[in-house]
Structure formats: C-alpha cells, structure tokens
Structure 1
Amino acid sequence: MTADENSIPIVDFSRWEKASSEEKKALAKELTDACIRVGFVYVVNHGIPDEMLDEAFGWSKKLFDLPEERKMLAPHPPGPNVHRGYSWPGLEKVSQYIHKDEDGDADAKDEELRKVGDVKESYEIGSDNCPNMPNVWLPDEVLPGFRPFMTEFYWQCYGTAQELLRALAIGIGLDDPDFLLKFHDGHNNQLRLLHYPPVEAEKLASDAIARMPAHTDWGSITMLFQDDCGGLQVEHPRKPGIFMNAPTVRNAICMNVGDLLMRWSNDFLKSTLHRVTSPPVSSKTLDGKSMTRARYSIPYFVSPNPDAVIECLPACTDQKNPVKYGPVVQEEYRRMRAKLQYSEKQPAPKTVSVA
C-alpha cells in the first residue's frame, strides 16, 4: 500500500479468500487505514473478472450511443424518491447541499444551484426485488442482452461488496465479521452507468457548466470502475478545499466510504468529498474550441437495507470519543439527501453539443 499523503493507497485483495485469520486481520487493517486517512482506496485483484468489466463498459457505450428517443423509453421517474432508469443531461443535480423542508430558503437555494447544470447522462439499475425502487428497464428489443448481463453484473459486484464489508468490520474491530452484512442484503444497492459527453473545456473550467460537483456519497461504500479518461478528484486529507487527482488504475475498484458507514464508525472511517471535473487532456477541437474527452464510469453504491437503523458502533466510542451522531434510518437519510438531486418539476431533455 502506498503511504504518500498526496496519493490514494492501493490494496491487493488477492490474498483475502484463502488468508488465515491473522492474514485477514492484516489485510483488513490495510483497507481500514486507507479509509481512515483518505476515505478512498484502490482495491486490485478483487474477484470481478476483467472480461466482465470490459463487457460492462461495452454495454454502457452501446446504451449511451442509442438515439435519445430510444433511451427515453426507460425514463427516470419524476422526483427524487425512485432513483432508476435513464437520466438525460441536465436532469440530475449533484451537490453537498442538504435541502431541509423547514428551511424557508431551501427552494430558492435549490433553484440557484440548478442554474449550473450537470452535463452527464446516467442509467440506474437495482435489484428486481427492491419494492421501494422498482427498476425501469429498456424494452428487450431496444438493447437485446443488456438486462440479463447487467443483472448478473449487479450481483457479481454485491459478492465483492460482501467481502469488503467483512474486511471493514474486522478492521474496525468488530467481533463478528458478518455484522455489517446483517444490514446489507444487496437489494437496496444501485448500479449506475455514467457517461460524460464531450463539452467545451473553457465552459467547464469557468463553471458555466459542471460534470459532477463536490459531494460525499450517502451509503456505506461505493465501488467505482473508471475508463482511462480521468477527471475524478478527491479532497486532500490534510488540506480542506484542495482536491487531488484520482488517476485510473485499470480494472481496480476505487472504493470510498459513504456517510452512513462514517456515522456507524463515529468518524473513524472518513466519507470524503470528491468531484468530477476536466480530464487532464482534452480530446479534440470543435469550431476552434477545445473539447473534453468523453468519460465513462460505473459506480456501484452499497447501501444498508431501507429499514436499517444506523447508530454508533460500541467499538467506535469511548470517554475520549463520545457519540457524534444520533440513530438514523437509511431510507429517511436517503430521502433527505436526495431532495435536490431530482426536482419534482422535471426539466425537459436538453441537447448537448458534442464533438
């Protein structure tokens, strides 16, 4: 594991499956040390086959290459409560701002933040047995083979997520390695296909448009797969407000801690601000203007079950480190954080100039 505070650590997970109890403790410590220090870690040799990841990115490109009217056969439902289906550029707004109904200025703040649109499109997939967020699938004839592959990939990711949660439980110091799994049956997770189309680099640099502004994730952990474009940045662990690049490590999981795991661990593990901005190198010019490269990424969000109560773990508090957060129900926390993300007044699809 790298120890430079200006970089994200790398953990080789290949030893995990056949490791002895003591070896698992050592590997779990590597993983949790990274989550304590940075909140992000690259996990390599994690068990998801390279061929499956290549196929997942291939399907993602096929999806986003479809004409808009075909993608719109599986539209994201209006409002923030059901996060599934296709989101066109400008529909979603990511922010760290938390909309509170009792705040009289909340609606005005929402409107102000939405003046700078996020230029990306996405497709959200969950378990077909998640009653509170049913999937919105494209008709099979639009993209034959897409649904069965993504369903298989979703559960393959969950299998790896289970082992990461076991490692984190050991690293935190819990007696039961399966403790966190009792709150994560896999049905409330989310697989997200993301495409950032080429845009004018100058507009992105001047904040006239955005890709994905700085935010933390809401769940337990996020497992991110990236293409080679770049653009992901993570807040520096010792320099608040300063972001460092998170370069691609091919086929690695870029794992980060979410808000709920941070609350569970009483800030022992860090939920870190991160964002997507200009990639290091622009791809081409259009009408004399420098354009960013297209970027594809696939995050898999691991969330507790909707009725799970997240409260401080006894192993993470003592007289010197009192409890910092009260108990919260996952579904209530998710809805609070999602209020800005998708407006009840759903905007119409916008045409984006691409190279």
Structure 2
Amino acid sequence: MSEEITVDGSAEIANDNAPVQQIPIVDFSAWKIKGDLSSRMQVAREIADACRKVGFVYIVNHTIPDSLIDEAFQWSKQFFALSDEDKMTAPHPDGWAVHRGYSWPDREKVSHITTEKDEDQRAKIMEALEYKESYDMGSDKNSDQPNQWLPDEVLPGFRAFMTRFYWDCFSVTSDIMRAIAVGIGLEDEDHLLKKHSGHNNQLRLLHYPKVPLEALERQTVSRMPAHSDWSSITILFQDDCGGLEAEDPSQPGRYIPATPLKNAIVMNVGDLLQMWSNDYLRSTNHRVTIPPLSTSLKGSDRMTRERYSIPYFIAPDPTALIECLPACMSEENPPKHAPITQVDYNRMRASMLY
C-alpha cells in the first residue's frame, strides 16, 4: 500500500505500486447525454483515473462513426501505395521547424530525449534504422505549419477527406479534454479547451512496412522506440496488427500491450498535460515493437506484418502558456515545472527529431 496524492496534494491510502495488467477501457457514451450529470461525472473520473495511473485509456462508444475510421484507413493505404515519386510531391520540408508532409523511412528519429546533453543515448538512437513512413497534415489556417498537400490529380479526394477527418478528430478530442478537466476538478469544463483552437493540431498517417524479424531482434532496425508525446493529448486509431506498448508506470522497463480493439480510440496523455497537471496525470513512454506473429516461420522467412495507424495530436495554440493549473497545486504540492509556451516547448522537442 502507498499514499495516493490527489490533485490538490492531499493524501489517501491506495495501492499504486501494483503492476498494471491492462489499459483501462472507458465507455464514453454517457458523456454525450448533457442532462445526466452523474453519469458524465463518472466518465470524467474514469478517464482522469486512467490518465493518472497509466497515462493510457481505450475510449469506446465515442462520436466518430466506424465507417469514417474505416474510410480513413482506406485513404491511408492508398497514399502509402503510391510510388515514391508521387509521395515525394508532398515532401516533409528540410529541418525541424515545419512538421508536415511525407517523411520517408528513417527521416524522423523518435525518442524521449528532451535535451542535447545525453549525446551517448542520442547517438545510439541514430544508429538504428527507424523503418516507418508517415504523412503529416494540419489546419490550413496554421501559417507557421503550412501543409504539404499532394497535387489533387495524384490522389483525387484525399485532401478533402483528410481535412474533414482532421476536424472530426478535433470534435471528439474536445469532448475528451472537457471530461479530463472535470475529472481533475476544474470548475470550467472548457478551461483547457480555451487554449486549444484546433489550428495547432497534427493528423498523422503511419505505415510500418514489412521488415525481417531478425533485424528487429538484433536492433539494427526499429519500428518506433520508446518516447512520450509532446502534445496535450493524443488519440490513436490502429489496425489489427498490434505492436503498440505502453510502459507500466509502476515498473519502469515493463511494457503493456495496447492490444487492438476495433474502432476504439487509444488516448494517451502528452507532456504538456502532465506539466499542466503538476505531474498528476502521466505522459507515459510508449513504443511500437515486434507485433504478434506466427512462430512457425523460420530464418529469413520471418517477416513482420505491415502496420497502419492514425494518431492525432492535440496541441495548445503556440502562445499558450503551460503553467500549473490551480486545481493541481497547494502549499504541500507546489508547481514542479517552470512555465513555458507551447512554441518554445515544441521548438525544443522538434529539434531532437530531425
């Protein structure tokens, strides 16, 4: 047994050192019933509790139709099936300042490193081939992050669908942010959302091609190393391949499979929400590693399945100040992080990726 520190710093007795067996599942349907305050509060508490204990949660019965999720994956597969020449009509710009467009395998290096001081660890990450490709897009009104759209003739209808899907994702994440705000005790459910106009978010299509299993075992190739997200929250849609894992906060180094659950949202806390909540909510390290596959294959025939996923990162507006929320501090639990704007934090993290 251990003392559980609540949002305002008071203590309760709880068993927080027990290993996490699985990622919690929250039925979000009651949140949509505006008049049922008791049921909405229950949803808010369940989400906040999962964010505190694990940093990850499955959200089911959300507002994005299954058919829309299926269509998003169809468009993603069409995009990555294009020739390299066609994909490179919308390339990720050089450098780290703009995070849009197509990134080819090993273009991006993902890690949880947040400082240039750890050069040994940084060098090790750079050695392994990070074998994934991605395409990033955002709001067309974000002049700081200009989209790199494919020409319409390359994939007709792609831009129109992804623009719509981007805002559909913002709609559901807005409700999730409201639920989190209520769950951690903020009086105004829109308190966090007021700092998120939606124009600074990022929709990403990810494709992990087939790769020899031996290369992953030897760590000469990686899918996506352990890292935390530098957003407020992330929602993720994944196919049925598997391979995503979240670190068990009670046992660092032990990972819990985020087993695919058809059309569920996998939501996780990002670094900025952890800072806002004074570390009450957890921005948990996660990774994509060897997926479940047949053990009957031998030698060079042992290939991973290809994997598709679609994460959506919700970030505050660039000038938003990330400072401890009043509900998350007290005399016994003072702020743990110095205030920082989103743009300054983004600059620091993005410079480590490219």
TM-score, length basis structure 1: 0.91
Q: How does 1:44-83 map to 2 (within 5 A)?
A: 44-83=60-99
Q: Which amino acid aligns with 2:42?
A: A
Once the two structures are TM-superposed, the CA of residue 97 in structure 1 deviates from its matched residue by 1.3
List aligned pairs for 1:290-305, cutoff 5 A: 290-305=302-317
**Structure 2 stretches of 5 or more lacking a match?**
1-17
Matches within 5 A, 1:250-269: 250-269=262-281
Give the distance between the partners of 2:122 and 2:51, measured in 1 at CA: 31
Paired residue secondary structure (1:114): helix
CA RMSD of aligned residues (A): 1.7
Q: Structure 1 residues 143, 134: CA separation in 2 closer, same or farther (over 3 Å shift)?
A: same
Equivalent residues of 2:20, 2:256 under 8 A apart: no
Distance 1:256 1:141, change over 3 A: same
2 CA distance for matches of 1:287 and 1:54? 34
| SS of residue matched to 2:73 | helix
The CA distance in 2 between the partners of 1:272 and 1:168, in whole Å, is 16
Secondary structure of 2:30 counterpart: coil
In the alignment of these two chains, the number of paired residues is: 336
List per-residue Cα deviations over 1:207-250 (Å, max 9, x = no partner): 11100000000010000000000000110131111111110011
Q: Does 1:193 align with 2:205?
A: yes
State the Cα distance separating 1:23 from its structure 2 match: 2.1
Secondary structure of the 2:204 match is strand
CA drift of 1:94 comes to 0.4
Offset at 1:50?
A: 0.4
Retained in 2: the 8 A contact 1:212–1:277? yes
How many angstroms does 1:113 deviate by?
A: 2.4
CA drift at 1:5: 2.5
Of 301, 320, 325, the residue aligned with 1:308 is 320
Aligned 8 A contact 1:99 1:339 in 2: no
Unaligned stretches of 5+ residues in structure 1 = 343-355
What amino acid does structure 2 have at the position aligned with 1:153?
F
Superposition pairs of residues 1-355 of structure 1, within 5 angstroms? 5-19=20-34, 20-100=36-116, 103=117, 106=119, 110-281=122-293, 288-342=300-354
For residues 69-115 of structure 1, the C-alpha deviation after alignment (integer angstroms, 9 at most, x for no partner) is 11011000011110000000010110111244xx4x75x76444211
Contact residue 79 and residue 87 of structure 2 kept, 8 A: yes
Tell me, yes or no, if the aligned pair for 2:23 and 2:256 is still in contact at 8 Å: no
- For 1:209 and 1:312, locate their aligned partners in 2 and report how far apart those are by CA, in whole Å: 39
Query: For residues 17 and 122 of structure 1, what CA distance do their matches in structure 2 show?
Result: 33
Deviation per CA, 1:111-145: give whole Å up to 9, x if none. Answer: 44211121000000100001110100000000000
Conserved in 2, the CA contact under 8 Å of 1:284 and 1:291? no
Check the 8 A contact 2:234/2:268 in 1, yes or no.
yes
Q: What CA distance in whole angstroms lies between the structure 1 residues aligned with 2:37 and 2:19?
A: 28
Identity %: 56
Letter in 1 for 2:25: I
Distance 1:277 1:91 in 2: 18
Contact 1:284 1:292 in 2 (8 A): no
Code of the aligned partner of 1:61:
K
CA deviation string 1:153-177 (max 9, x = no partner)? 0000000011001000000100101
* Separation of aligned partners in 2, 1:312 and 1:4: 28
What is the DSSP-based 3-state SS (H/G/I as helix, E as strand, rest coil) of the residue aligned with 1:182?
A: helix
Q: Take 1:283 and 1:312, find their aligned partners in 2: how far apart are those partners?
A: 49
2: CA distance between counterparts of 1:33 and 1:163?
17
> In 2, are the aligned partners of 1:184 and 1:304 still within 8 Å (CA)?
yes
CA distance in 2, matches of 1:61, 1:141: 17
- TM-score, with normalisation over the residues of structure 2? 0.92
- Amino acid in the other structure paired with 2:252: P
CA distance in 2, matches of 1:62, 1:337: 31
Q: 1:282 to 1:145 in 2, by over 3 A?
A: farther
Structure 2 contact 208–308 (Cα < 8 Å) conserved:
yes
Give 2:239's aligned amino acid.
D
Residue of structure 2 equivalent to 1:345: none
Q: Secondary structure at the match of 2:110?
A: coil
Partner letter of residue 193 of structure 1? Answer: L
Equivalent residue, structure 2, for 1:348: none
